[in-house]
Amino acid sequence: MSVLTHDEAQTRAALIGLRRYTIDLDLTRGVEVFGSITSVRFCVREAGTDTFIQLEAAALHRVVLDGTTLDPALYVDGRYPLTGLGQGEHELLLDADMRYSHTGEGMHRFTDPTDGETYLYTMCCMADAPKVFGCFDQPDLKGVFEVTVTAPPEWTVLGNGIAERVGDTADGRWRLTATKPISTYLMALAAGPWHSVRTRHAGLPFGLHVRRSLAAHLDTDADEIFDITRRCFDRYHEIFDEPYPFDSYDQAFVPEFNSGAMENPGLVTFRDEFVFRSAVTEAERQSRAMVIAHEMAHMWFGDLVTMRWWDDIWLNESFAEYMGFHILTEATHYTDTWADFGVRRKNWGYDADQRPSTHPVAPEPDGVPDTAAARLNFDGISYAKGASALRQLVAWLGERHFFAGINDHFTLHRFANATLADFIDSLARASGRDVHAWADTWLRTTGVDTLTPTVSDTPNGWELRLTHEGSRPHQLTIGLYDLDQATSRLVPRTPLHWNVPDDVVHTADGRRPDLVLVNDADLTYAKIGFDDRSWATIAAALAGLPNALSRAVIWNAARDLVRDGKLPPTAYLDALRAHLPQESDVAIVQGVLAFARTQIADRYLTAKQRPAALATLTDTCRDLLRRTHDGSAPGLRLAAVRTLADSATNPAELDEWLAAGTVPGGPVLDPELRWRLLLRRAVLGAATPADIEAELARDSSATGQEGAARCRAALPDPAAKEAAWTELFDKDDLSTYLATATAEGFWQPEQHELLRAYLPRYFPAVAEVAARRGPAIAQAVGRFGFPQYAVDASTLRLGEECLRDANPIPALRRRFADELDDLRRALRVREGATAGHGGAQG
């Protein structure tokens, strides 16, 4: 289907105005298609207008314009032409059969393997609304939605407005309350035999919904989820002048969802992994809470006031990301959320911003020429870098002026569309400052600034100079710490408040600090370095730094230094071994272990060095288990068990755990841990197909199906590898989730010789399946199926040839470009092209 260009969207928005969509969906036509009848009321501003409406139909039965039947055969490539339209009001009817999706795009259909029940839900963002109903699919043509649905009588229907049954229950007819004006990408529907938990708050109905097989798990967590929801809802109403703009607040946890969540007004959809069926850490509960807060922020940022075109997705995502962490800190018991942001999210932005595919937080409109290009910008820049930029903006403006500008923005553009310029105007009015200049330097530029301290002794004391590589201004805190040799604790001095580029040097009397930590409060977005003495202090006493956010800044900086070839990977592992066993913040433990396991051990070190790295990880995890044997820190213990299982080189201990059904001292092996242990045993050649089938008999859920697919693909057996390859690349049956699981299991560093022959087959095979199956599968197989462990020049050459010769679809081209850039980085780290030194200078 053809993509919508920015030029086409601008032309169409100038010619027509949207009034209303009246949509009637029939979900009782079998397992392949559903019925979609759309009546669109719109106005035309100029006589003789030519335009088009979008629809991706299996069959278009009827087209009626103002009572006159038109020829359905004119429908081509997802568009129906509308020519010679007269000035004034029009009504267009489209009657079609639409295909169900199994890749999370449009109307997704899922049958639960646990009980055979079927569930449907829509994902219309960002250009998939025409897979559900006929529409003028662009964000600046907002309309009222009136939706009716025919479903099996035992089902529940959910949508953007309150859903009510119409007529007799046996008819299965539902009507949803008409919405306020919203964009097409926000239309939402979920239908099936949902298990629901309902309450009311602030005069509105609130609901939680999940498939029946997860009912017990939702019931366990419902009070916690509602508590977070209410606290965030109330805090947003204290900050924003504009009240919540819709008539209900449902949260549906849906299966096989490609995104983390989607901010549909009145019906937020989440991936149902957020309904925990196995043990999780407190950091993972905090992550769920942050997503709840993030999506609620979208009710204002994105749903009430919507971007005009996709160049301004940051107006949605950066703000929701920032507000999610901000609101959690203020309104809930999660008070260290910015440490979690620093170690779990911010590096996503740093990594994306250093690749050739980087783009400004707010690109110029011509930088997003069509919807295919726009889809690629839902990345670490639009989320994490943008949120970091906003955090710096708040540090510069102050919270009072920042939120005054936001409220001005909402007042001026409620239920309409706005641009970056509109938003900056509101901030400038509220603050009286030159926010436009700030936006030019922060939002219209790419790349990461670097801030490196130089500390020297003077006759009477010491001197600090800060070297700035980059173009952005920064307001930041520089932490100063002294090492207490007796306790190995780092004692803070009064910090420095530094303005870049205005402040250049600081001099002080007395003894120089043992640690100078640039960006200590993590208020800005920049890579940092360390002077030699500071790094020596970190190596000796990182665990003695009292604040989790400060430790997160250091671990993030060390990660960047490894990636830039300025700190040997083994030095990072030495710091991990020395200090992680004393770490109390679960998010830091998880983030550090994940980087060490997946990047250092699997990519940055050679095959000969890898066993020592895995031994370091397992020894560290055993220390964490010894420290937590009393049950005082179950989250730390769970994080250690997971990484120990992933890093084991001898399956005997894993066999003992599985036989006992528990790790000695806990935790008991729940389904997630059992599948994790079985996967590692499969990789090491200690599991059989029969073992996998026996585990699947214990856990036949959708997650169990994914675990089995992952384990089958991981078996070090030629027949198993070829079977997995066939499922991924020669058939089109796998859902996105099962394709992801199979891809995750396939490539394993321990199986390099077995997999060698698949490397030249991989790139053309992915290009072909992406062309057949579309962006969601392209992302899954291009990301999770990329042979990341194969860090050598031949892999790079094969990937570059594919980009040059195979003409991959845009989603895959971007994915491959990023993966190949990461591969080049890994080669540089391995080769020591920019080998570092003990000082870890930036």
Report d(CA 340, CA 321) in Å as an integer: 12
C-alpha span between 477 and 498 (Å, rounded)? 6
pLDDT band at 838 (very low <50, low <70, confident <90, very high): very low
Cβ atoms of residues 363 and 392 within 8 Å: no
Are residues 261 and 378 in contact, defined by beta-carbon separation less than 8 angstroms?
A: no
pLDDT higher than 60, residue 834: no
**Is residue 586, in this structure, part of any structural domain at all?**
no
Has residue 747 been placed in a domain? yes
Q: Within this chain, do residues 838 and 725 fall inside the same structural domain, yes or no?
A: yes
Domain stops at, among 409, 443, 477: 443
My answer on whether 312 and 259 are in the same domain is no
Task: Mark whether 122 and 50 lie in a shared domain.
Answer: yes
Is the CB of residue 104 less than 8 Å from the CB of residue 257? Answer: yes
Can you tell me the mean pLDDT for 208-216?
98
What is the predicted pLDDT for the residue at 554? 98
Reported as a single tens digit per residue, the pLDDT across 457-497 is 999 999 999 999 999 999 999 999 999 999 999 999 999 99
- 536 and 472 belong to one structural domain: yes
Predicted model pTM: 0.96
- What pLDDT sits at residue 786? 97
Residues 438 and 462 placed together within one structural domain of the fold: no
430, 472: one domain: no
| Alpha-helical regions (H) of 5-105 | 6-15
Question: How high is the pLDDT of residue 837?
Answer: 42
Residues 11 and 136: beta-carbon distance below 8 Å: no
Residues of the chain with pLDDT > 90, as a percent, come to: 96
Domain annotation covers residue 592: no
Same domain, yes or no, for 140 and 65?
Answer: yes
Q: Give a yes or no: residue 219 inside a domain.
A: yes
| Domain shared by 272 and 361, yes or no | no
Query: What is the b/e burial string over 161-177, where b = at least 16 CB atoms within 10 angstroms of the residue's CB?
Result: bbbeeeeeeeebbbbbb
* Model confidence pLDDT, tens digit, residues 556-599: 999 999 999 999 999 999 999 999 999 999 999 999 999 999 99
619 within a domain of the structure (yes/no): no
Checking if the pLDDT of 734 tops 90, the result is yes
Q: What rounded mean pLDDT belongs to the chain?
A: 96
Query: Domain containing 101: what range?
Result: 6-293
As given in the structure block, the two tokens for residue 469 are 């590589």
Return the half-sphere exposure (C-beta side, CA atoms, 13 A cut-off) of residue 805.
Answer: 8
Residue 571 in domain: no
Boundary-marking domain end, from 268, 293, 318 = 293
Q: Return the amino acid letter for 230.
A: R
409-446 pLDDT, tens digit each: 999 999 999 999 999 999 999 999 999 999 999 999 99
56 labelled catalytic: no
Same domain, 427 and 546: no
Taking only the tens place, the pLDDT of each residue in 445-460 is 999 999 999 999 999 9
Among 273, 295, 321, 819, which one carries the catalytic annotation? 295
- Co-location of 471 and 432 in the same domain: no
Rounded-to-integer distance, Cα 433 and Cα 450, Å: 26
- Check which CATH number belongs to the domain holding 462 and give it: 2.60.40
Within this chain, do residues 39 and 104 fall inside the same structural domain, yes or no?
yes
Residue 364's pLDDT band (boundaries 50, 70, 90)? confident
Q: Name the H helices within 250-345.
A: 282-298, 314-331, 337-340
Domains in the chain, number: 4
Instruction: Say if residues 476 and 450 touch (Cβ distance below 8 Å).
Output: no
Task: Give the model's pLDDT for residue 597.
Answer: 98
Residues 313 and 417 in one domain: yes
User: Residue 558: which of 613, 533, 523, 595 has the closest Cα?
Assistant: 595
Q: Which amino acid is at 58?
A: A
pLDDT tens readout for residues 90-141 = 999 999 999 999 999 999 999 999 999 999 999 999 899 999 999 999 999 9
Q: How far is CA 615 from the centre of its chain?
A: 31
